[in-house]
Structure 1
């Protein structure tokens, strides 16, 4: 009988103090890699994502919650594989409960505004006092050392990082990324930092504080292009649908949609010209080498669009593929999520309400990593209710007596 391979992070326990998207996505990644994640929520209200529309329930997909057991699809997505407990961190008694949880754990993740965790008594110093081996990750808008304590949302970080002005046409308004790129990128860096700290702990036996800034994470990606150099060379900083310093490179219009194509190098450019039925363009002094194609990018792009607009997307793709030119249709996200290549690798996964079927194929993010000697996947756990797993965690894991739990509950701590 074939034995199911383990997940890479099995045996590690995470105390998850996060909420909304950035922090919960970091702990979702850890859960999908095999860590046991204990999600801590306020007894009243819980994670902000519980109130995100749309919802799924007995009436299918709805914009407004109609029934008590309707579940936000955001929560259904982000809380997968996590065990949920209720703990009011504003209560003084919660500090001892937090310390007891940390003593059993390897990792703590929080994404409060800088300084909030310390004020609540659940910051790194409190965690380290309970467990010197703890790896404690703070994911905030501007870093744990931000003295102003500013609040950060994805759109704010996109604006401050310069990312909004890296897209769109010159002279046009800034363009917000259609996905919450800052909220998704910073958690990836957080997981990298956490795993690096765990590796260092293997050598030293000591944990540490991992500090990730959303602004820093996204700005580091924006900085991969040298904007000052491009400005000095007279190149437009805003690229719109194409990148003219690599021309031809970008998105072009077809009769019924759009394609993305890349014909940067000589062989590819000549393949493009043949697909266009205009091989003579390869000998045209405006397009005969990479540098002159860049210098005459505007004229070249007009020629390509004039050709592609007269053909269906599928025909443009067929002709370019026949010439070995990298090309793809620009797809709607719904189509992209069911591509057999990503479905087969569990890079997108189905989700469902635990009690009600849906006629809609609800798909969400998986773990886009493959291992030769391990697997990915989520524990069969979901905190449908706030405090769903209080008994399993507080009584079984921490050994709290029924009397102690009743006292904490009566005080509104759990």
Structure 2
């Protein structure tokens, strides 16, 4: 078993985290934090901590939590990487873990009815924080899918750096043609220089195997190609659109690649969550302010079934048909030749029409599927992912490692 990194605390400085333990301040820093505090104030013995927004991943072995005699903060019992542990569970955001169990220390305040200008003030503060982050890095390339997160970073970078900022879109078999066209359009809308970096995930057998870490392999290749393109342009820094909500959302191993390759994530560093990202996009007048997140095409293929060009192509063609028919929330999952069509609940009535059923069967068999089914549970993210409740967004965000939340039934008394 691999021991956790010698860097025992990620994110905010240790002094700020110790003070947050003392005061229960939920947001002591613009950055998140996670890791081990050896001498926490008001507590005996070391503790593991994770900030209230879950912006940094943190995992602990399940067994030590059930055994009072075992210290969950011992080096072999916790890690920033779930792959280091035999039976990992995610430390809940806002919690402290020690020999005594799990204590929920930090919660977001309930502000009650907001003042009319409160929301705009929060957006303005988030804008200032992001611009400050960007202006410290010099020339940079933005990993750009054209989704709302990367579009906001590109707009901020263009405002802060002008021609010294470039948007770069990774072009491969997993990116739908419509998404590439969208990225080109949004870059023009922003006014930022737009480059494409072409590569193929199918060159990597680890990606093709489609195991639990597919998104890690994809993101490593994608960002590696981005760095190559950036260096060709004389740029050393690559940034992405990972926001403060991303690290705590389900099974998203792509964030590990972001950390390993030292990608700059200004929204994450400034503590900007998804709602604030959309508000900033709206303030800039970006057409993608309300655009839903879009996962890459490989997310339509169940874990364990190989990713092939044939499967990616027929999924893209099938989804193009649904898009042209006016559906907004949908996925076509490829179960080795069987198409499982998911339609958003508020659009299911249209999908249940016999004429639609006949037409979708005809079109989807034409693009290569043998059988076509309609999933009566409707569209939901991650229905073919390892834990069944999170879809890895392979385009706009890096994603983060995730696991089922740790059971906090054993807690400190309050």
Report the TM-score, using the length of structure 1 for normalisation: 0.24
| Structure with larger Rg | 1
